[in-house]
A = this chain, B = another copy of it.
Amino acid sequence: MANLQEPRPDVSRPVNRVVSLRDVAKEAKVSAATVSMVLNGNPRISRATATRIQRLVERMGYQPNRLAQSLSSKHTHVIAVMLPALRHAFADAYFGEIISGICDKAGKMGYKVMLEQAKPEFVKDKQHVRLYERRFVDGVLCLGTNDRHRWLGDFAAAGCPAMLVDNAVDEFKVDSVVCDYASGAEQVMNYLIQLGHRRIGLITAGQDIKMARRVRKAYETQLHNLGVDCNDTCIVDGKFTEEGGAAAASKLLDAHPDMTAIFAGNDKMAIGAMHEAVRRGLRVPADLSVVGFDDLRHAAFINPTLTTIHLPLYEVGSSAMERLVERIHGRPEPVKEVLPTHLIVRQSTAMAKTTTAAPGQN
């Protein structure tokens, strides 16, 4: 047995043998506990020993093994970001902005970010809570959720810190940080109405998403207050995609040739709608005003540039990360944070054409 340690001395062993805390301790002729305490700034250790060991740690290039740290400390300092199981979820600027905010804040707080997609098998297997139970992560941030995602209830049951990002679900008690969709939609409607528009179509999507319902509600309320009749043919589903937006615009314009404005629930659908309008020979904004929602980066680089609601997605991500860590650290109170939105006027909107004057001047 003893000779197992003999073969080492020969110098032909520059193998990147990772130095452990015990190696440092041995070299310093102290116990592992002492080194550990020095590294954690425990004041019980004398200045002299502390600096001596710190220098040694430096010299030996010691790096704590964080698997061992986490195993013993009960904290992984990793959080998971759950994205919806859409083919293009990662390539989507909407999610990208949020993730950007999450990652920046995570880095500052000493957390790592793990990516996960909420595929059907994944959540059916309860993998999303296993992430926590198996000690992969300390908490989970959920993006792109909707009311049908029953699995959101599992987090509370398992005691796993979790947050909904830019959506809220009443049913389960999960914390959330969202943009003020209601106010955003009101701003859009006020603006369009002010421009003289009365025949306004809505391209929406995801009526199982609370935030989307809020937009629809604001739209309906505003039109109703104005005395404008707005039946179901004024509201079409656009599936959050460019294609869907184009198809929805097509339906709207078929049903209402006199429509002067379209309000889309996100920028992508708005872009699709503009695309369709141009295809039909309509001029945007002269014949048709189009408004989006999100203010994604390229909204400013399409032709014409898109009037839209700016959502503070980066901030939402950043804040959600912060709240999640608070929860991990034991904050008891639930959180429902709402961040303000505002209208960005660009070129895709203009005064309504004064054809058949709107009925109610009110």
Chain B nearest Cβ from A211, distance in angstroms = 19
Asked if A136 meets B71 with Cβ closer than 8 Å, knowing A103-B117, A297-B88, the reply is no
Are A115 and B96 in contact, with the CB atoms below 8 A?
A: no
Q: Are B296 and A275 in contact (CB under 8 A)?
A: no
Q: How far is the CA of A296 from the CA of B296 in the complex (A)?
A: 15
Surface stretch bound by B, among A23-31, A59-67, A333-341: A59-67
Bound Cα distance A92, B246 (Å): 23
Asked whether A140 is an interface residue with its Cβ less than 8 Å from the other chain, the reply is no
Task: Say whether A18 contacts B133, CB under 8 Å.
Answer: yes
In the complex, chain A residues 41-85 whose Cβ is within 8 Å of any chain B Cβ: 63-68, 70-71, 76, 78, 81
In the complex, how many residues of chain A place their beta carbon closer than 8 angstroms to a beta carbon of chain B? 58
**What residues on B are CB-neighbors of A96 within 8 Å?**
88, 90-92, 96
Shortest Cβ distance from A296 into B: residue: B91
Q: Judge if A130 is at the interface, Cβ distance under 8 Å.
A: yes
The chain B residue with its CB closest to the CB of A137 is: B112
Please tell me if A228 contacts chain B, counting CB pairs below 8 Å.
no
The verdict on A89 contacting chain B, using a C-beta distance below 8 Å, is yes
What per-residue 1/0 map shows which CB atoms of A240-266 lie under 8 Å from chain B?
A: 001000100000000000000000000
Contacts of A130 in B (CB 8 A): 63
* Chain B binder among A198-206, A219-227, A298-306, A324-332: A298-306
A22 contacts B by Cβ under 8 Å: no
Chain B nearest CB, measured from A93 CB (Å) = 4
Closest to A277 in B: B303
Within 8 A of B (CB), among A130-152: 130, 133-136
Q: Which of A266-281 contact B (CB under 8 A)?
A: 268, 271-272, 274-275, 278
A65 engages B159 (CB within 8 Å): no
**Minimum CB–CB distance for A137 against chain B, Å:** 9
**Chain B's nearest CB lies how many Å from the CB of A81?**
8
Q: With A and B bound together, what is the CA distance between A133 and B297 in angstroms?
A: 37
* A159 cross-chain contacts in B, Cβ below 8 A: 16
- One digit per residue, 1 when the CB lies within 8 angstroms of any chain B CB and 0 when it does not, for chain A 290-322 equals 000000111011110000000000000000000
A sample of 29 inter-chain contacts (CB < 8 A) reads A16-B159, A18-B133, A65-B135, A66-B136, A67-B67, A67-B70, A67-B71, A68-B71, A71-B71, A81-B115, A87-B100, A88-B97, A88-B100, A89-B100, A90-B103, A91-B99, A91-B100, A92-B96, A99-B115, A103-B115, A107-B117, A112-B116, A114-B114, A242-B297, A242-B300, A271-B302, A275-B301, A275-B303, A278-B303
